[in-house]
């Protein structure tokens, strides 16, 4: 699904670039930053105002060690970022400095899974038996406003190649956290695991409330077509 979204978005960016190139200033940008690798298509409405469409994404996996006394589980974490953006860049003084605002349609998610491979493993304030599994899902998806500043006009006249920088925040709201445990050992053990999973979910959800703003920093190269 992610590869299809990237393909469709990239095709739209290139198609719009080809169409608009016949009538106005058009630029293409390639970048890397806190939302992953990015592709931008920009059309100059006037000397100071540009409209920009973008896609930024990244898939990253790593191991996450839970806090504990030595018999804690190791989580396999997967971070999936996918963001389609549409917004305006306003060059206040007609130069490189700009104000940016728009919307990001985000499909961002963090998943972590762990299986107890010891005789017993820590989960919350209790021990769960070998073979038990815990899954954590942090959902940051949705359509979110973006506000920022930046430097670099992607359709600036003169030298067709250049660099650009974006600095801003995405108002993503509170991420939604889900914790599920599947434990061996019978119904009584599963009931204990469900209770611990609820406690872990509540604590993580409280921590997630501090991340309503997602910082965005991008550094890229731009190319003006005409």
Q: Which two tokens stand for residue 224?
A: 């003006």
Give the model's pLDDT for residue 38: 95
Residues 17 and 225: their CA atoms lie apart, in Å, by 9
CA 134 vs CA 55, 105, 191, 192, 200: distances in Å? 32, 29, 14, 13, 11
Q: What percent of the chain has pLDDT over 90?
A: 58
Site of tokens 């106005």: 24
Residue predicted with more confidence, 177 or 65: 177
pTM: 0.78
Q: Which of 40-49, 67-76, 197-206 is predicted with the least confidence, judged by mean pLDDT?
A: 67-76
pLDDT per residue over 6-36, tens digit each?
444 544 554 444 444 434 689 999 999 999 9
Give the model's pLDDT for residue 171: 95
* Structural domains of the chain in order of their starting residue, each with its CATH number: 2-224 (2.40.160.170)
Mean pLDDT confidence for 30-53: 93
Give the model's pLDDT for residue 66: 61
Residue 197 backbone phi and psi in degrees, to 5: -65, -40
Residues 102 and 33: their CA atoms lie apart, in Å, by 18
Residues 46 and 162: their CA atoms lie apart, in Å, by 19
Residues 59 and 153: their CA atoms lie apart, in Å, by 29
Which pLDDT band, with edges at 50, 70 and 90, does 128 fall under?
confident
Give the model's pLDDT for residue 67: 60
First vs last Cα of the chain: how many Å apart? Answer: 34
Residues 102 and 106: their CA atoms lie apart, in Å, by 13
Q: Which of 43-57, 58-72, 125-139, 205-219 is predicted with the least confidence, judged by mean pLDDT?
A: 58-72
User: 69 exposed, middle or buried (CB, 10 Å; 0-12, 13-18, 19+)?
Assistant: exposed
pLDDT surpassing 90 at residue 177 = yes
Which pLDDT band, with edges at 50, 70 and 90, does 74 fall under?
confident
Mean pLDDT confidence for 202-216: 92
């Amino acid at each position: 699904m992610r590869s299809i979204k990237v393909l469709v978005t990239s095709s739209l960016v290139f198609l719009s670039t080809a169409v608009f190139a016949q009538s106005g200033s058009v630029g293409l940008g390639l970048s890397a930053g806190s939302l992953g690798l990015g592709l931008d298509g920009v059309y100059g409405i006037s000397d100071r105002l540009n409209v920009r469409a973008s896609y930024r994404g990244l898939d990253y996996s790593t191991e996450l060690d839970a806090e504990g006394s030595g018999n804690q589980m190791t989580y396999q974490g997967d971070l999936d970022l996918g963001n389609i953006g549409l917004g305006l860049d306003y060059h206040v003084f007609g130069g490189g400095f700009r104000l940016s605002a728009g919307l990001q349609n985000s499909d961002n998610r963090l998943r972590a899974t762990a299986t107890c491979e010891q005789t017993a493993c820590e989960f919350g304030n209790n021990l769960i038996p070998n073979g038990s599994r815990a899954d954590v899902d942090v959902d940051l998806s949705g359509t979110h406003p973006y506000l920022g500043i930046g430097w670099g006009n992607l359709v600036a006249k003169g030298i067709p190649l250049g660099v650009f920088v974006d600095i801003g925040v995405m108002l993503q709201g509170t991420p939604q956290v889900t914790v599920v445990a599947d434990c061996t050992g019978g119904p009584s053990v599963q009931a204990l695991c469900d209770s611990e999973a609820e406690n872990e979910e509540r604590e993580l959800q409280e921590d997630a409330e501090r991340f309503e703003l997602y910082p965005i920093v991008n550094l890229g190269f731009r190319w003006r077509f005409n």
